[in-house]
Chain A
Amino acid sequence: MKANEMTSMQRVLTTLSHKEPDRVPLFLLPTMHGAKELGLSIKDYFSKAENVVEGQLRLRKKYRNDCIYTFFYAPLEIEAFGGEVIYSDDGPPNSGIPFINAIEDIKNLQPPKIKETKALYKVLQATQKLKEAVGDEAPIIGVVMSPFSLPVMQLGFDKYLELMHFHSDLFNHLMQINEEFCVDWANAQLQAGATAICYFDPVSSTTIIPRNKYLETGFQIAKRTISRIAGPTATHFASGKCLSIVDDVSQTGTAVVGTSSLEDIGAMKQACRGKLTILGNLNGIEMRRWSSADVNLIVKETIQKAAPGGGFILSDNHGEIPFQVPDEALMAISEAVHTFGKYPISDF
């Protein structure tokens, strides 16, 4: 490390305080790529905490990443509730048929007990071991699915929208259960060593519900939930748009906003300046076929628009890099941020 070079933690904390660090922090978020590193199938890789620990450490070193990411897969909480997880050889584990068959079943739903649930315990073990390995040198980002977005996998999206619009008592009951679980799950990860929690809330994005519905529902739930999480949070809309609700999102107590590649990053910067740090917004789907020249062009443009003044972390737009994105593209992104992301940002 050079004399004036910051640690990843210093770099991230500086940008979060809306000041310019030594360079733009990079949160490359490959999850399944750890399986490639270890020569394991995706299913085997996620079967043991030790694999994910080794995978994350190798990936961080390889890509000179500024965080450790303890996200296993999206349906982890569904697995904890007793739902089905479907593994694939070349993609993220996915949720199966929703486990709540009839909305009346919500009345009998019980939240999982965290330490007695194998899938969750595995994540806590991985978090603890990763904390032992990196200490305070780099932030460890834990993940929760928001109480408001989890029902997409609990019930199915269509049934959930009908629940939200027409069955307010059952909707509120489900939110109570999910909120208690989400707070406990987030705090357990923080106790295990996570530095911050990424609060995935795609249903709150304006792609999915209009702002007035968000203010009645997802916004209130986020405010209540985030206020009880005993550490910093980042809200991620997983490719959903959020520009028109940035002011509202900033009032939920979150520090960071995960930004879609469908959003104008310059307009996002204007809206977030001084209020929220932007995390984003490289297109993970297109990234699969980016050449080095494409990477340089896109990374430079993103940095020029969003990095001045701090409050910016370069990342993908979804919170999970597709398995099909080749190493070359990820290495090129890392190289580009190390080359063009040094502060003060120049015009190139």
Chain B
Amino acid sequence: MDKQTIHSKGFEMALLALDQSKAESIIRKAVGEGSPMDVASKLVSDTLHRIGEAWEDGKLALSQVYMSGVICEAIIDKLLPPASPLRMDQPKMAIGVFEDYHLLGKRIIYSTLRASGFELMDLGGGLKTDHLVRIVQDEKIKILLLSVLMLPSALRVKEVKEKLADAQVKIVVGGAPFRLDNQLWLEVGADACGKDSADALEIVTKLMGEKV
């Protein structure tokens, strides 16, 4: 077993036990052996990816995914503050909750991506179509992650997509209606759909690789 794997297993156990100090000591040890960005984008990202997949497989619960993300985000923020030049150069990305105030899904993805070294704007909740479209255009956002809870909101992503047809923005959707209906993201014209934090990491990494 290589060092990275050993760190990753121990790190996962510390996260699931909500042992922040143990998790932080593993990360600090790993940083001594590589750069902070490497630790975020490999060790932390791989661990959170595994935790996200375990939720999808029914082996872990959402509370464990959430708490793991929050702990990781706090640790990585100390090593890689938001404006750090060590953070990766990436297209502009934002995340928000479309049309309601149930923020947990967005918070999980936000924490997971930031702890993995990505930077993204948090647009909050209760976003309506026209307001959201204006933000994307003004901020020149290239990747827009949208979380929804209700079916009507999911269906109205189509309007957002249509109004942003000229903005060259990739829209990635997630949330309960998309988890329950595999075809819904295609129906509303989204560019991708993530069912969990592991999916979000894979999709964003792929889009970043393509430089959008």
* Chain A residues packing against B (C-beta within 8 Å): 86, 88, 90-92, 94-98, 152, 156-158, 161-162, 164-165, 206-210, 213, 239, 241, 244, 261-262, 283-286, 288, 317, 322-324
Pairs A–B under 8 Å by Cβ, sample size 14:
A88-B152, A90-B152, A91-B151, A91-B152, A94-B150, A97-B125, A98-B101, A156-B102, A156-B104, A157-B102, A157-B104, A161-B104, A209-B63, A285-B184
In the complex, whether B181 has a CB less than 8 A from a CB of chain A is yes
Q: Measured between C-beta atoms, what is the minimum distance from A281 to chain B in Å?
A: 11
Residues of A within 8 Å of B63, CB to CB, are: 161, 164-165, 208-210, 213
In the complex, whether B60 has a CB less than 8 A from a CB of chain A is yes
Cβ < 8 Å to A, chain B residues 90-135: 100-104, 107, 125-126
Q: Measured between C-beta atoms, what is the minimum distance from B67 to chain A in Å?
A: 6
| Of the residues A156, A213, A288, contact of B151 by C-beta under 8 Å | A288
In the complex, whether B83 has a CB less than 8 A from a CB of chain A is no
**Within the assembled complex, what's the spacing in Å between the Cα atoms of A261 and B60?**
19
Residues of A within 8 Å of B61, CB to CB, are: 206-210, 213
Closest A residue, CB atoms, query B182: A286
On whether the beta carbons of B62 and A262 are closer than 8 Å, the reply is no
Residues of B within 8 Å of A161, CB to CB, are: 63, 66-67, 104
On whether the beta carbons of B152 and A286 are closer than 8 Å, the reply is no
On whether the beta carbons of A91 and B184 are closer than 8 Å, the reply is no
Residues of B within 8 Å of A288, CB to CB, are: 151
Q: Give 8 new A-B contacts, CB below 8 A, not counting A161-B67, A239-B176, A283-B181.
A: A88-B150, A95-B101, A96-B101, A97-B126, A209-B61, A213-B61, A288-B151, A324-B152
Residues of B within 8 Å of A164, CB to CB, are: 63
Residues of A within 8 Å of B103, CB to CB, are: 156-158
On whether the beta carbons of B58 and A241 are closer than 8 Å, the reply is yes
Q: Measured between C-beta atoms, what is the minimum distance from B25 to chain A in Å?
A: 20
**Within the assembled complex, what's the spacing in Å between the Cα atoms of A160 and B94?**
24
In the complex, whether B189 has a CB less than 8 A from a CB of chain A is no
Q: Closest 6 A-B residue pairs measured CB to CB?
A: A157-B104, A91-B152, A285-B180, A285-B181, A210-B61, A322-B151
Closest B residue, CB atoms, query A158: B107
On whether the beta carbons of B151 and A285 are closer than 8 Å, the reply is yes
Secondary structure class of chain A's binding surface, majority of residues: loop
**Within the assembled complex, what's the spacing in Å between the Cα atoms of A290 and B137?**
37
On whether the beta carbons of B66 and A324 are closer than 8 Å, the reply is no
On whether the beta carbons of B150 and A285 are closer than 8 Å, the reply is no
Closest B residue, CB atoms, query A86: B100
Residues of A within 8 Å of B181, CB to CB, are: 283, 285-286
Q: How many residues of B contact A (CB 8 A)?
A: 30
In the complex, whether B31 has a CB less than 8 A from a CB of chain A is no
In the complex, whether B41 has a CB less than 8 A from a CB of chain A is no
Instruction: Evaluate whether A210 and B151 lie within 8 angstroms (CB atoms) in the complex, with A95-B101, A286-B180, A286-B181 already known.
Output: no
| Of the residues B101, B149, B180, contact of A262 by C-beta under 8 Å | B180
**Within the assembled complex, what's the spacing in Å between the Cα atoms of A88 and B107?**
24
**Within the assembled complex, what's the spacing in Å between the Cα atoms of A86 and B153?**
13
Residues of B within 8 Å of A213, CB to CB, are: 61, 63
Residues of A within 8 Å of B179, CB to CB, are: 262
Q: Measured between C-beta atoms, what is the minimum distance from B9 to chain A in Å?
A: 19
**Within the assembled complex, what's the spacing in Å between the Cα atoms of A12 and B102?**
35
Residues of B within 8 Å of A261, CB to CB, are: 180
On whether the beta carbons of B151 and A165 are closer than 8 Å, the reply is no
Residues of A within 8 Å of B101, CB to CB, are: 94-98, 156
On whether the beta carbons of A323 and B58 are closer than 8 Å, the reply is no
On whether the beta carbons of A158 and B104 are closer than 8 Å, the reply is yes
Q: Measured between C-beta atoms, what is the minimum distance from B189 to chain A in Å?
A: 16
Cβ < 8 Å to A, chain B residues 43-90: 58, 60-64, 66-67, 70
| Of the residues A95, A97, A324, contact of B155 by C-beta under 8 Å | A324
Residues of A within 8 Å of B125, CB to CB, are: 97
0 or 1 for each of B151-165: is its CB under 8 Å from A? (1 = yes): 111010000000000
Residues of A within 8 Å of B152, CB to CB, are: 88, 90-91, 322-324
**Within the assembled complex, what's the spacing in Å between the Cα atoms of A164 and B18?**
13
Instruction: Evaluate whether A206 and B180 lie within 8 angstroms (CB atoms) in the complex, with A96-B101, A158-B66, A324-B155 already known.
Output: no
Cβ < 8 Å to A, chain B residues 170-208: 176-177, 179-181, 184
**Within the assembled complex, what's the spacing in Å between the Cα atoms of A164 and B100?**
23
Q: Measured between C-beta atoms, what is the minimum distance from B156 to chain A in Å?
A: 9
Residues of B within 8 Å of A152, CB to CB, are: 102
Most buried by B among A86, A97, A208, A262: A208
Closest A residue, CB atoms, query B152: A91
Residues of B within 8 Å of A284, CB to CB, are: 180
**Within the assembled complex, what's the spacing in Å between the Cα atoms of A286 and B182?**
9
Closest B residue, CB atoms, query A96: B101
Residues of A within 8 Å of B151, CB to CB, are: 91, 285, 288, 322, 324
Residues of A within 8 Å of B64, CB to CB, are: 210
Residues of B within 8 Å of A317, CB to CB, are: 180
On whether the beta carbons of B180 and A210 are closer than 8 Å, the reply is no
**Within the assembled complex, what's the spacing in Å between the Cα atoms of A283 and B100?**
22
